[in-house]
A and B are shown apart, each in its own frame.
Chain A
Amino acid sequence: GAGVSQSPRYKVTKRGQDVALRCDPISGHVSLYWYRQALGQGPEFLTYFNYEAQQDKSGLPNDRFSAERPEGSISTLTIQRTEQRDSAMYRCASSLNPNTDTQYFGPGTRLTVL
């Protein structure tokens, strides 16, 4: 079956613009996670959902970052008024069951803020 997909794969934007990153999890997976990975680092947790409910957003850096998963499937991570420090790989993962199951990652969206 299809894995986790993310779009766009690459996004170049100018400082101050808003961007929306999309994640389509594996069909039937309850939990969806967002991570951010800086160059040369491991991924860092941003937020996660069980079904449509956002369970934890403690990793979101500031209020310019938000995420939603309105129908419990596709999720969107939005960054408003982008800054150069937002440049990174944004990764989405999904797991079949909440909390204890293996997370499978999508290919990521490489965001570059000029």
Chain B
Amino acid sequence: AQKVTQAQTEISVVEKEDVTLDCVYETRDTTYYLFWYKQPPSGELVFLIRRNSFDEQNEISGRYSWNFQKSTSSFNFTITASQVVDSAVYFCALSLAGGTSYGKLTFGQGTILTVHP
């Protein structure tokens, strides 16, 4: 069975600080996908990024960056120069690319990020 752990339940920062959200996953499969979703106060789930298990290159998109390390089974998310609008619950998720469980997303518990002005 797959498992995703987001050990940080809540993080509070002041605007313009950098913040890293941790995600650790468990799977026996060698082919899988990792995701980050954002749930703002309005409640919808917004897709941020998808990475496959064969691509360990770090990715940067504006103030967002992601660090994927298979050696530690981690897929961490960093927000640089945080803004109040970044306040949300962030979910890390995993899906398999084969077998009977493929396609299903397994989510972590989420990390509540609060950015204070």
Complex Cα gap A44–B35 (Å): 15
B53, chain A: closest CB distance, angstroms = 12
Complex Cα gap A99–B102 (Å): 6
Asked if B106 is at the interface (CB within 8 A of a chain A CB), the reply is yes
B33 interface neighbour in A41, A42, A100, A104, Cβ under 8 Å = A100
Q: Which of B44-52, B57-65, B68-76, B80-88 contacts A (4 or more CB under 8 A)?
A: B44-52
CB neighbours of B95 from chain A (8 A): 99-100
CB neighbours of B44 from chain A (8 A): 105-108
B11, chain A: closest CB distance, angstroms = 15
Complex Cα gap A85–B88 (Å): 26
Contact between A43 and B103 (Cβ–Cβ < 8 Å)? no
Complex Cα gap A43–B92 (Å): 11
Closest B residue to A35 by beta carbon equals B105
Asked if A82 is at the interface (CB within 8 A of a chain B CB), the reply is no
B45 interface neighbour in A43, A44, A45, Cβ under 8 Å = A43
CB neighbours of B107 from chain A (8 A): 42-44
Asked if A48 is at the interface (CB within 8 A of a chain B CB), the reply is yes
Interface string of B33-44 (1 = CB under 8 A from A): 101010000011
Interface residues of A in 22-72 (CB under 8 A from B): 31, 33, 35, 40-45, 48, 55-56, 59
What are 22 pairs between A and B in contact, CB < 8 Å?
A33-B104, A35-B105, A40-B109, A41-B109, A43-B45, A43-B107, A48-B104, A55-B103, A59-B104, A91-B45, A98-B103, A100-B95, A100-B97, A100-B102, A102-B50, A103-B47, A104-B47, A105-B45, A106-B44, A107-B43, A108-B43, A108-B45
List the interface of chain B (C-beta within 8 A of A). Answer: 4, 33, 35, 37, 43-47, 50, 91, 93, 95, 97, 100-110
List the interface of chain A (C-beta within 8 A of B). Answer: 31, 33, 35, 40-45, 48, 55-56, 59, 89, 91, 93, 95, 98-100, 102-108
